[in-house]
Amino acid sequence: MTRRSPGRSSSAHRWPFRRFVVADRSMEPTLHAGQGLIGFRNRRVSVGQLRCFEHPHQPSFWMVKRVVDHDGTTMRVESDNRSVPTVDSRRFGAVPIADSYRVVVRIPTRWM
């Protein structure tokens, strides 16, 4: 899961790039709590990508997960770390690809 960067308005999602911060352990060992991410909004998705998207049942709550399947309109996403309780497509189903962000830069925690 991620949290939105402070000081950003809800209209920030209209820009092609967006900054996120990892907030839990669900994507370890790939991503770590406190790590920064830069996402690029596009609709070209492929299996294995890391994507940030709004939780389907909690508006303004953003998540980062790995794409495990897609049909061109929706994608199924899962956490990398199955040793901790997580929420992903196994619980809430497929999510829309539109308005999701592909993670293009991972910022080391020490730089945050």
The three-class DSSP label of residue 93 is: coil
Which CATH code, of 3.10.180.10, 3.60.9.10, 2.40.30.170, 2.10.109.10, is assigned to 16-111?
2.10.109.10
Quick count: other Cβ atoms within 10 Å of Cβ 15?
Answer: 10
The pLDDT of residue 110 is 77
Q: Tell me: the pLDDT tens digits for 19-34?
A: 999 999 999 999 999 9
Q: Tell me: the pLDDT tens digits for 31-64?
A: 999 999 999 999 999 999 999 999 999 989 999 9
Give the global pTM.
0.83
pLDDT band at 3 (very low <50, low <70, confident <90, very high): low
The domain ranges of the chain are 16-111
